[in-house]
Every structure is written in C-alpha cells, then in structure tokens.
A and B are shown apart, each in its own frame.
Chain A
Amino acid sequence: MLKTIFPTLTRFRFAIQLLMLFVTVYGGALLGTYMVDRISQALPSLACAYDKKTGDQCILIVNQHQLHHRIGEALIKAQEITLKVFIPTLISVGTFFALFFFLNKAFCGWVCPMGTVQEIVYRIGRRLGRPLNRFDSGNVGRVRPVKWLMLLVLVLGLPLMAGMGLASNELGDPYCQVCPSRLVTTLLTADVEQIALRTSTGVNFFLGAAGNALFGFIIIAALAVRQPFCRICPLLSWNALFQRLSPMQLVKKQHDKCDKCSVCEKACPMDIHEIGREHGRKAFHEDCTMCGRCVEYCPDDDVIQIKFFGVKLFGSSREYYKQRVKLETPEGLPKNKVIWLTQAKENQHG
C-alpha cells in the first residue's frame, strides 16, 4: 500500500515537504494564532516570522534579536554580563540543536519551505525544457564559502554590532531583510507587504532592494539551477557545525566502481562531487541536505546509506536503481512525460 503511494524515496520526501510547507506557511491558521510562540521558535528551517499565518518561526530571527537586544547591549554595559544574559540565547540555540540533533540536515531537504519551493520551481523548469546549469568540481568551491559569510556577517556579526551601538540599529536583523524565504512565504499567504520596499531610511531601502533582487534571481534561476539559494543559506552552515554529532548520518562505503560511475554526483542537487569520489566522513559533505537522491541513484547495493543510530533507514540497491531511472534521470528530468517546450526536449537526454 505504502509502496503504491510512495514508489520512491523522492515521492515520499515530496509528500513530507508539502506537509511541512503547509505547516510552516499556513500552520498558524490551522493550529491557532499563538501556536507560533509555542512550537519551537527555533525550527531549523526558513519558516518566516513575517508570515502572519505561519505555525512556527525560523531560528535565525531569534538569533539576530538575541544578539542585538541582549548580548550586544549587555557587552556595552559590561557589568551586567551574567550567565542570565546568555541563557535565552543558549535555550534557543539548544532547542535548535536538540531538534537538529535527531534529524540532522534532513531539515534542509525535507522541512524547509524555501527548499521545497525551489524544488517545485526546478521541476517546472524540467517540464519547460530549461537547461541544467551545474557547478563543476572546479568552480563549486567558489560558492561554498558564501554560506559561512552569510552566517558570520548577517546573522551573527551585524546584529551584535547593532546591539553594541557600533552599527545602525536597522542592522539588527539584516539577514531577515535579504532572506528570500521572507518573500516566498508571505506571498504564499497572498500578503504583498513584505515585497514592498521600506523607504524610511537608506539602510532599510538598500537591504530591501538587495533582498528583492536576490528573491527575483532565485525564483528564475531555480528553473535551471538546483537549489540556488540553499548553497548560500546560513542555516546550511549553522547545521554543518554540528552535523557529525547527530545519530542521523549519510554513510558511504568504498567501492571499486565509484571512479567510473558518478551517477550519484549527477543526482545530487547541491553538486557535491565528493559523494562520487570519496567515502566515509568526506562523502557526507557540509553542503548535504540529506535529500537521499544519491542513495536512490547509486546502482550498487548498500554502498550509500542513510543511518539512524547505526540502523539503516534507506540504502542503495540495484533493483531500486533500475526502477528509479525508468521514472526520472539523475538530473531530475521526468521520463515518459510531456516536455512542454519540445525544441528543448530534443536537446535533453533521457
């Protein structure tokens, strides 16, 4: 029964993503207005606090506010720095990592509404016959540091400086002002307030303009690039800090055929080439979102596995692989389905 409804891991994951998209965008309407204050305040995905119908909110706004209002202000009044100042921050970060501890980066690949929307747009791009632009192993390294910069500068650095009076107060939550999820989730509730630029000050205007342009770029780029925003998302770097501690792990064994194959690399939406070439710890890269596509598209039994406390939840298999490639190419192009722009279809393989 379950296998009929969810013939592939991707189909199962997509169902979870749609459910979580509903909870993270409209959950407050279903579960009650104040549920957002209760569920977590620290869900490790981009569930936006600016969305008036959301059922929870992203940890990044909590982090920025705490650095801005508590720690930054307390550092200035040095005599007031006590453990009490740090307790709320420790609680929210602790809640975040408690949730994250069990599911690891699956929050990115299975829960985050921004990730889901990008995947849906990419699927539309496949049906429209748009090309796939990938980062090859030579240039993917240029993009990877950006997520750390986003975390250090926009989530941690500027809010702390604003709290200490070293930067404009409007820089108290700069990441939220450029986050495309703020625009995606509010637009999904038919709220256009957030897409209207704040004109009260130059800083507000600049951040808003940058955020809107980034949002526009991401939405169109997602037609031809897999998960364009995830690559620079500060939550990916936050999660990466502790990904080795979780009981949920992506595990890859060494195998002779891996040098010649590389199908898992093609299946990876984050262009993690290490998954094809490396094994052990190096194969579970900091950019991994645990979507499981590399496991689905590995043609050899149990070479790649997702394990929880050492127990295999899902492992690669030849039989599964043979069925999987009949439905979709590793790059995500559906087989036996109409490609709306036929000229492009001729240029696509599959």
Chain B
Amino acid sequence: MGGGAGKPVAWTAFPTLKTRMGGEGREGRVVTVVPQGIVANSIDAYSNNIKDAKGHRQLPLDMAGAKLDKPEAGGFHWLAAREEQDDKVRVASTVYFFSNPGKNPTALFMQQKHELEIIPQPFPREHSRYRANEDWKFLVRFNSKPLANQKINLETQNGTKTELVSDAQGVITARMPDDFKAEVEQKTAGSTDNRRRSSDFVLATEYKEGGKSYLTAFNGSYGPDAFDQRSLAMGLGFTLLGMISAVPLLRQRKPAKQAADARQSAATETANHKDA
C-alpha cells in the first residue's frame, strides 16, 4: 500500500477511515475508502444484505484507497481496516450507506466482525445524522461481551478531546460537542450544492487480553446544532401570523343567517325521519 493511504490525519492519532463519494451520478456511484493512521492490505466491507453475494467483500487497497461500488440493493455498509503487528491489533471502522438504505442494519452491526468493537446504538438513519448537542449511544464489547467501565476517547476535527466511560451494559452515551466555529465552513458533506456544515469525530478504546493489546476506533461525521442557522422566534412569529389570519373564520355569523341555516337543516332532518 502506498500513496496517501495509511498516513495519519493531523487532528487525531487514532486510526480512521475516510470515505469519498465519486463516480458519475447516483447510479454509477463509487466510494473511495482511505485508511488513515493504519496500515492494512484491504478493507473489509460488510453489507446489510448479509446473504447477498456482496454481503462481505474484501476490497483491495491501491494508491488512492479502496473502491466500494454501490450494490444493486444499495444499503448500509460496515467498513473496517485491521492491522496486526506483534502483540498489537489495531482496527479502524466506520459506516457508510448508499441511498435506499434497505434492510434494517441492526443484525449487520451486531454481527461480530473484530475482537474489540464500538457499535452505534443506533446509527442515524436516512435523512438524519449525528449533530452537536445530541446524545448518541455506542456499545463497546470484546469478543461479543459488553465491556463495563471501559474508557473511550472522543476526539473531533474541531479540536475537542474528551474521555467517556461505559456503563454496566457496556454502553457509552456520547454528547456530540458543539465545537463548530460560527463563521467558518470547515467542509461540506454530501453533494457540493448542498452546503451542510460538518466535521469528523472518532471514538477509540484500548483493551488488553491474552498478552495482546487491542485498539479499535469508530469514526464518522457530525453536523452543527439542530438550531444552527435557524430562528425559533421567527418561526413562531410566522406561525402566529398564520393563526391570526384565520381568526375571522371563528367569528359567529349573523344570527339571522345562522338561524335560517339551522332551520333549513333541522327541517331536512325531520323530513327524513318522517319518511323513514
């Protein structure tokens, strides 16, 4: 493996996987997966279409990274790179999904793929994403057994570094930091026309067993706070404006007109009763 793949990024020493969308249009989409801070021969790609021929693929790495093409069924993909040297095992992992996410990916996420794992509980579904000031849960486990009181590091591209501890069920609740600088667009996510601000985060943990040291990281991207570039006051103001404009409909009509309507309706009902 050569080129840029494998080199660590400036904002974290933990291993990460970078995904870049490419190809022409949605049908020919190919995603390039670039390992950062880890040396691996291939990328493991697990699909939520587990029984599909492309349920588990080993994507060869070249100078630019590994190519993940969109399967017919689309779907969620768990991507992982593994490095083992002497008594140290390092894993970088992330999730990517193509449009038309398809089957429930819970079985994919819970399937054991490595010794030490950090698993989103849940991962944001389509039309959703990690955002600042939101709490998201992750399960930390070793050989499928939850790790209680396990320390996990959270680092972001925007400079936040913090430490979390898992509960008795091996679950950590990570509050995505609100560390976006107000006037700076760090980068864009999705289509280049859709200028949604976003940044990267990584969760990482270490565990020792059987004379070996394991380090696993899970990375993803997150956006600013839900109310970034939104105004609740103006939203309520325009809602109130709409409400006020409907108030005239609530006024009683003139009694004479209303009484005439009522008499006519009552007469019809009575006539129908008699007929019946």
Within 8 A of A (CB), among B51-110: 99-106
Q: Are A88 and B238 in contact (CB under 8 A)?
A: no
Q: Are B259 and A347 in contact (CB under 8 A)?
A: yes
Closest A residue to B193 by CB, please name it.
Answer: A169
Closest A residue to B270 by CB, please name it.
Answer: A325
Other-chain residue from B230, B235, B255, B276 in contact with A322 (beta carbon distance below 8 A): B276
Q: Are B125 and A195 in contact (CB under 8 A)?
A: no
Q: Are A213 and B258 in contact (CB under 8 A)?
A: no
Other-chain residue from A84, A85, A220, A330 in contact with B250 (beta carbon distance below 8 A): A220
Q: Are A35 and B234 in contact (CB under 8 A)?
A: no
Q: Are B238 and A216 in contact (CB under 8 A)?
A: yes
Judged by a CB distance under 8 angstroms, whether B10 is at the interface is no
Within 8 A of B (CB), among A174-229: 183, 192-193, 195-200, 208-209, 212-221, 223-225
Judged by a CB distance under 8 angstroms, whether B241 is at the interface is yes
Q: Distance in Å from the Cβ of B21 to the closest Cβ of chain A?
A: 13
Judged by a CB distance under 8 angstroms, whether B272 is at the interface is yes
Judged by a CB distance under 8 angstroms, whether B232 is at the interface is yes
Q: Are B258 and A266 in contact (CB under 8 A)?
A: no
Q: Distance in Å from the Cβ of A77 to the closest Cβ of chain B?
A: 7
Judged by a CB distance under 8 angstroms, whether A299 is at the interface is yes
Q: Are A217 and B245 in contact (CB under 8 A)?
A: yes
Other-chain residue from A214, A321, A322 in contact with B242 (beta carbon distance below 8 A): A214
Interchain CA distance A85-B193 in the complex, whole Å = 21
Q: Are A34 and B229 in contact (CB under 8 A)?
A: no
Interchain CA distance A49-B128 in the complex, whole Å = 9
Q: Are A263 and B272 in contact (CB under 8 A)?
A: yes
Q: Distance in Å from the Cβ of A88 to the closest Cβ of chain B?
A: 7
Interchain CA distance A53-B265 in the complex, whole Å = 44
Q: Distance in Å from the Cβ of B34 to the closest Cβ of chain A?
A: 25
Judged by a CB distance under 8 angstroms, whether B27 is at the interface is yes
Q: Are B125 and A36 in contact (CB under 8 A)?
A: yes
Judged by a CB distance under 8 angstroms, whether B24 is at the interface is yes
Interchain CA distance A215-B240 in the complex, whole Å = 9
Q: Which of A67-75, A231-239, A286-294 contacts B (4 or more CB under 8 A)?
A: A67-75
Q: Distance in Å from the Cβ of B110 to the closest Cβ of chain A?
A: 13
Q: Distance in Å from the Cβ of B122 to the closest Cβ of chain A?
A: 4
- How large, as a class, is the contact surface on chain A? 35 or more
Q: Are B273 and A322 in contact (CB under 8 A)?
A: yes
| Contact A196:B246 (CB < 8 A) given known A213-B239, A261-B268, A299-B276 | no
Judged by a CB distance under 8 angstroms, whether A262 is at the interface is yes
Interchain CA distance A344-B250 in the complex, whole Å = 11
Interchain CA distance A348-B258 in the complex, whole Å = 8
What are the residues of chain B within 8 A of A125 when measuring CB–CB? 250
Interchain CA distance A13-B215 in the complex, whole Å = 57
What are the residues of chain A within 8 A of B101 when measuring CB–CB? 34, 37
What are the residues of chain A within 8 A of B258 when measuring CB–CB? 131, 347-348
Within 8 A of B (CB), among A83-112: 84-85, 88
Q: Are B245 and A37 in contact (CB under 8 A)?
A: no
Q: Are A84 and B239 in contact (CB under 8 A)?
A: no
Other-chain residue from A193, A215, A225, A349 in contact with B262 (beta carbon distance below 8 A): A349
Q: Are A50 and B127 in contact (CB under 8 A)?
A: yes
Q: Distance in Å from the Cβ of A156 to the closest Cβ of chain B?
A: 19
| Contact A321:B272 (CB < 8 A) given known A70-B26, A349-B266 | yes
What are the residues of chain A within 8 A of B276 when measuring CB–CB? 299, 318, 321-322
Q: Are B275 and A38 in contact (CB under 8 A)?
A: no
Closest B residue to A347 by CB, please name it.
Answer: B258
Q: Are B239 and A216 in contact (CB under 8 A)?
A: yes
Q: Are B235 and A212 in contact (CB under 8 A)?
A: yes
Judged by a CB distance under 8 angstroms, whether A133 is at the interface is yes
24 contacts between A and B (CB under 8 A): A36-B126, A37-B126, A49-B127, A74-B25, A195-B232, A197-B231, A208-B235, A213-B241, A213-B242, A213-B245, A216-B241, A218-B242, A220-B249, A260-B271, A261-B272, A263-B268, A266-B268, A299-B275, A329-B265, A344-B252, A347-B252, A347-B262, A348-B258, A349-B266
Listed from nearest, the 6 A-B pairs whose CB atoms lie closest are A216-B242, A349-B262, A213-B242, A220-B246, A196-B230, A216-B243
16 A-B pairs besides A131-B258, A330-B265 with CB distance below 8 A are: A34-B103, A37-B104, A38-B102, A69-B99, A74-B25, A196-B231, A198-B229, A199-B234, A212-B239, A213-B239, A215-B239, A216-B242, A220-B249, A261-B268, A262-B268, A263-B272
List B residues at the A interface (Cβ < 8 Å): 24-27, 99-106, 122, 125-128, 193-194, 226-227, 229-232, 234-236, 238-247, 249-253, 255, 258-259, 261-263, 265-266, 268-269, 271-273, 275-276
List A residues at the B interface (Cβ < 8 Å): 32-38, 49-50, 52, 57, 61, 69-70, 73-74, 77, 80, 84-85, 88, 125, 130-131, 133, 169, 183, 192-193, 195-200, 208-209, 212-221, 223-225, 257, 260-263, 266, 299, 318, 321-322, 325, 329-331, 344, 347-350
